[in-house]
Amino acid sequence: MSLLQAFDSADEVFLTLTEMARRTGMHKPTALRLARTLALTRFLVQREDGAWRLGPFAGWIGSRYQAQFDVGSVIGPILLRLAAETGESSSFYVHEGNLRSCLMRCDGPNARPDHPRSGELLPLELGAPGRAILAALGEPGDLYERIRRRGFHYARAERSTGAAAVAAAVRGAHGVVLGAVSTSGPVERLTTPVLRRLAPITMAAARQLGIALGGVSATSLRATWHP
């Protein structure tokens, strides 16, 4: 298992025996013996030059894990807790291209009737969740630099005239941007000072969700869209 966990970098597909031994703390003969055993069951594959990579059976195990992963049971409790703590509505948005969609939402006690519903497609460049996602994806510009520095973005009457929200990006394994968590409500209640006050708790929920979804890819989340 230590040998398999040595392949934890998205930038390094192949590892030499020396590097595997260094990362696991094993002696090279031990690492080589175990790597050859894993190769027999296709968990590892060795190239002609001696370097190693994960094999097809490792991918099959990963796909089985994702297939059994109930995304809703992970996202739901975090959004419920966020809504309970803020008294406002909480949402999780995923993104594809220049669009975002509300994957799951927990309405607050006084939710607006015209808020985005699950599956509704919205532009990334309008609203706090979309801009938080764009900033996390590396969008250039002073606005997005500010969002990256403080870790959140808030907007009032930007996408919808009566709505306000504060949002933070959700990052999964290796920093992959999975989407954004937002806390939203009517502009009359969510003034700028209130949105700033709600920012830390929204960011905390985004971090919790990123950890909880660490084994799920952005592609898997997008596959749950029902536009």
Q: Which tens digit of pLDDT belongs to each residue from 133-143? A: 999 999 999 99
Report residue 227's pLDDT band, with 50, 70 and 90 as the boundaries: very low
On whether both 8 and 57 belong to a single domain, the answer is yes
pLDDT at 68 over 70: no
Residue-range definition of the domain harbouring residue 7:
2-67
Select the highest-mean-pLDDT range: 73-77, 109-113, 114-118, 191-195.
191-195
Mean pLDDT along residues 34-42: 94
pLDDT given for residue 226 in this prediction:
46
On whether both 43 and 80 belong to a single domain, the answer is no
On whether both 10 and 114 belong to a single domain, the answer is no
Structural domain count of the chain:
2
In a domain, 227, yes or no: no
On whether both 22 and 75 belong to a single domain, the answer is no
Domain final residue, candidates 67, 90, 117: 67
Mean pLDDT along residues 30-57: 93
pLDDT given for residue 11 in this prediction:
64
On whether both 56 and 81 belong to a single domain, the answer is no
Question: Strand ranges (DSSP E) for the chain?
Answer: 44-46, 52-54, 89-96, 99-106, 121-123, 153-156, 163-171, 177-186
On whether both 156 and 182 belong to a single domain, the answer is yes
DSSP 16: -
Select the highest-mean-pLDDT range: 59-68, 99-108, 166-175.
166-175
On whether both 155 and 200 belong to a single domain, the answer is yes
Identify the burial level of 148 via C-beta atoms within 10 angstroms of its C-beta, where 0-12 means exposed, 13-18 middle and 19 or more buried.
Answer: middle
On whether both 196 and 176 belong to a single domain, the answer is yes
CATH number reported for the structural domain that contains residue 113 in this entry: 3.30.450.40
pTM value is: 0.69
As a whole number of angstroms, the distance between CA 35 and CA 121 comes to 47
DSSP 117: P
Domain final residue, candidates 67, 94, 121: 67
In a domain, 205, yes or no: yes
On whether both 141 and 198 belong to a single domain, the answer is yes
Report residue 60's pLDDT band, with 50, 70 and 90 as the boundaries: confident
Q: What is the pLDDT of residues 144-182, one digit of tens each?
A: 999 999 999 999 988 777 889 999 999 988 889 999 999
Identify the burial level of 133 via C-beta atoms within 10 angstroms of its C-beta, where 0-12 means exposed, 13-18 middle and 19 or more buried.
Answer: buried
